Amino acid sequence: MGMVDAAGPMVSLARESFTLSITAATLLPFLGYLMFGVLSIPMGILQDKKGKVFI
């Protein structure tokens, strides 16, 4: 839930700091969620095969 709670302030902070449009600033948390979704399944499979200590 930390990422979800920080998404709102992160968008406004990124927009002000980097002079981004609202669309570009809103894409930042979306890309974070997307990468988590894409990487969580392969990492879970790898942990199942190799073990958590290896990862």
Q: Tell me what the pLDDT averaged over the chain comes to.
A: 86
User: What mean pLDDT comes out for the span 3-10?
Assistant: 79
Q: What is the pTM of this model?
A: 0.61
Distance CA 23, CA 35 (A): 18
Q: Is residue 25 included in any domain, yes or no? A: yes
Domain that residue 18 falls in: 3-50
pLDDT (0 to 100) of residue 1: 62
Q: How many helices (H) and strands (E) would you count in the chain?
A: 2, 0
Mean pLDDT across the stretch 10-34? 89
Give tens-digit pLDDT for 32-46.
889 988 999 999 899
In-domain check, residue 12: yes
Tell me what pLDDT residue 53 has.
Answer: 81
Residue 55 included in any domain: no
**Total number of domains constituting the chain:** 1
CB 40 within 8 A of CB 34: no
